Amino acid sequence: MIWLFDLDNTLVNRDAAFAAWAGEAVAGHGGTDADLAAIIAADDGGFSRKADLARVVIDRLGLPDDVPGTIELFRAGIRDHVQAYAGVLDTLDVLSGAGHAVGVVTNGNSAQQRGKIARCDVERHVDAIVVSEEEGVAKPDPRLVEIALERLGMADVDRRDVWMIGDAAHADVAVGRAAGTRTGWVSHGRAWSGGARPDVVAGTTRDVVALAASPAHRR
């Protein structure tokens, strides 16, 4: 079996890292709870345009009008605070120990994603890492999955033996479907609203893996 995982909010808690940085930034600049709420809302779980988010941060905190500098400010804050979810790296080791191939398929800026991967010590627990900026293609384009399978030496594998697992319906589930893999959605307590349900839905990454690896989903 081949397991492909999203990074942000799947293996590492990116949203908690952003919220921690934002809380410190707001407090440090004399902001209010309303400022914090506005900044977190503008982040949109990491899916907003970074320049738009930077503009909200600048306006709310009274920072110098430097969009690139502000983007690097919050990116650095995320890197400084990000942590892997409890037990998730152990789960990757269990999969590898059972002879399965494990990879990371992530959208995003290369330096940022590689920084999170390094801080959380993800790389030594997986067999391949694919970052969208480095490849010039992003989820939900299935070519990113194909690149990952090539890196794993599994380009010709039956796609029904591949799981794509992540928290974003429009990126992670969509790319798995486009590539013909099976799909697992990490809900974090949200209700599924993206049309046909993924093959597996659970609240945490570890629970998604447990369900996907269960006899009910074995081929």
Per-residue pLDDT, 83: 98
Compute the half-sphere exposure of residue 121: CA atoms within 13 Å on the CB side of its CA. Answer: 7
Inform me whether the pLDDT recorded for 127 exceeds 80. Answer: yes
Global pTM? 0.95
Per-residue pLDDT, 219: 65
Q: Which residues of 66-100 are buried (b: 16+ CB within 10 A; e: fewer)?
A: ebeebbebbbebbbebbebbeebbebbeebeeeeb
- Average pLDDT score, the chain: 96
Predicted confidence band of residue 195 (pLDDT cuts 50, 70, 90)? confident
Query: pLDDT tens digits, residue range 35-53?
Result: 999 999 999 999 999 999 9
Rounded to an integer, the average pLDDT of 2-22 is 98
Percent of the chain with pLDDT over 90: 95
Percent of the chain with pLDDT over 70: 100
Per-residue pLDDT, 28: 97
Query: pLDDT tens digits, residue range 67-84?
Result: 999 999 999 999 999 999
Inform me whether the pLDDT recorded for 101 exceeds 90. Answer: yes
CA dist 204 and 13 (Å) reads: 11
